[in-house]
Copies of this chain bind each other. A is one copy, B any other.
Amino acid sequence: MKMIDVGEKPKTERVATARGFVTMSAATVRRIRAGDVEKGDVLAAARLAGVMAAKKTPDLVPLCHPIALSGVDVTADPGPRGVAVTATVRTVDRTGVEMEALAAVSAACLTIYDMLKRYEKGMSIQAIELMEKKGGRSGHWVRDG
């Protein structure tokens, strides 16, 4: 078990974008849109939870480096079959921020689930995936398809 040494890598600008999806019934989506959720504003809470989780990534993912994030943006968009979440994380550091983007998406999806579980237990968190990654040795990577 080790956190691999990155001390020799240069500090460069890096960006990563990830996405995920919480599937739910149309009735539950309507509830979000109507603001009829006892715990409060689902989309605002999800976005905030995502930003905060990006900052906690090294505490959640044991072998992840602590990174000085320079920006985090999380979106949460309700559609007919659920809520789509994306997170874009930026840094100027020695290692990439894909884990931070994935952690932000995960926490935002968990928060959506938490606020709605009273109404629907069978929701599913689907397709948490890296979409794009720029900067660093591995250059520009974009998800296929």
Contact = CB atoms under 8 A, between A and B. Distances in A.
A135 to B, nearest CB: 10
A71 B4 CA distance: 5
Instruction: State how many copies of this chain the complex holds.
Output: 6
A49 B61 contact: yes
A130 B115 CA distance: 15
Interface string A59-78: 11111111111111110000
A4 B62 contact: no
Given A1-B41, A44-B1, A102 B113 contact: yes
The secondary-structure label for the interface of chain A is mixed
Contact of A107 (B60, B91, B124): B60
A48 B61 CA distance: 10
Chain A's interface size range is 35 or more
Contacts of A59: 52, 55-56
A55 B58 contact: yes
B3 A69 contact: yes
Interface of A: 1-7, 13, 20, 38-41, 44-45, 47-49, 51-56, 58-74, 90-94, 98-99, 102-103, 106-107, 109-111, 113-115, 117, 121-130, 133, 138, 141, 143-144
